[in-house]
Amino acid sequence: MINTYSGHENKVKHNLEHRVQTMSQNRNVRQVVVPTEQVSEMKDGQKVQTEKRTMPGYVLVNMEMTDDAWGLVKNTPGVTGFVGSRNKPVPLSKPEVDRLLHRETAERPRTQAQFAIGESVKVISGPLSDFSGEIAEINEDAAKLKVLVSIFGRETPVEVGYDQVKKI
C-alpha cells in the first residue's frame, strides 16, 4: 500500500502503470488498484450510480519487493511513501486486501443521502404521496428517512426510502 496526495490516486495509478511499462518491470509490479465502491445517489429525483474512493490518499500495489521495483514505485510522481516503516514497507495480508477491495461480501451498492435533517421534502410515492414534511432522521445503512408529516393536524413520523421523496 502506498500513500499519495489525496485526490491524485488515479493519476498516480496511471503514472505508475506507465513507468512499469517503460522500465520493463511487469514481472515485479503486477497490479495497481485504487480502492473504490459503487454508490447510488439521488440527483434531481433520479438514482445515479457513481464511483467513490473508499480510501482517499492510498493506492494498492501488488508487487514483488525488489530494490528496482521499490525505487520505481517510490520515485513515481505523486507517491509520498509506502505504508510501514521508511525502509521496509509492510505487506498486507490476503484477508486485508479482500476487505479493502470488498471481495468477501456480495457487492451491494450503498446509497448516499442527499438530504439533511430539518430539510423540507415531498413524498412522491407510496400511500402518503403528495404529503410534505420535514426530515427528522436519516438512516444511511437502510437508505431510509424519517419524515414528520402532518396528518389530521398532528406531526406523524413516517419512514420512507430515499427514492420515495424529493426536495421542495
Ordered per-residue pLDDT tens for the chain, 168 residues: 899 988 899 999 999 999 999 998 888 888 999 988 887 777 776 778 888 888 889 999 999 888 888 889 889 999 998 887 766 778 888 888 887 777 544 445 556 668 889 999 999 988 888 999 999 999 887 889 999 999 888 999 999 988 888 888
pLDDT of residue 107: 46
Q: How many domains does the chain have?
A: 2
Please tell me whether residues 144 and 163 are part of one structural domain: yes
Q: Within this chain, do residues 87 and 123 fall inside the same structural domain, yes or no?
A: no
Tell which phi-psi region holds residue 130, choosing left (phi > 0), alpha (psi between -120 and 50) or beta. Answer: left
- 130 and 154 in one domain? yes
Q: Which domain holds residue 12?
A: 2-111
Q: Are residues 64 and 140 in the same domain?
A: no
Q: Assess whether 36 and 70 both reside in one domain.
A: yes
> Quick one: pLDDT at residue 146?
94
Query: What pTM, to 2 d.p., does this model score?
Result: 0.59
User: Residues 68, 132: one domain?
Assistant: no
For residue 141, the tally of other CB atoms under 10 A from its CB is 7
Both 137 and 148 in a single domain?
yes
Closest CA to 1 of 66, 73, 72: 73
Strand order in the sheet with 79-82: 29-33, 58-63, 2-4, 79-82
Whether 79 and 142 map to the same domain: the answer is no
Question: Could you tell me how far CA 72 lies from the centroid of its own chain?
Answer: 28
Residue 26: how many CB atoms within 10 A of its CB? 9
Q: Which helix (H) or strand (E) covers residue 72, if one does?
A: helix 67-74
Domain harbouring 138, CATH code = 2.30.30.30
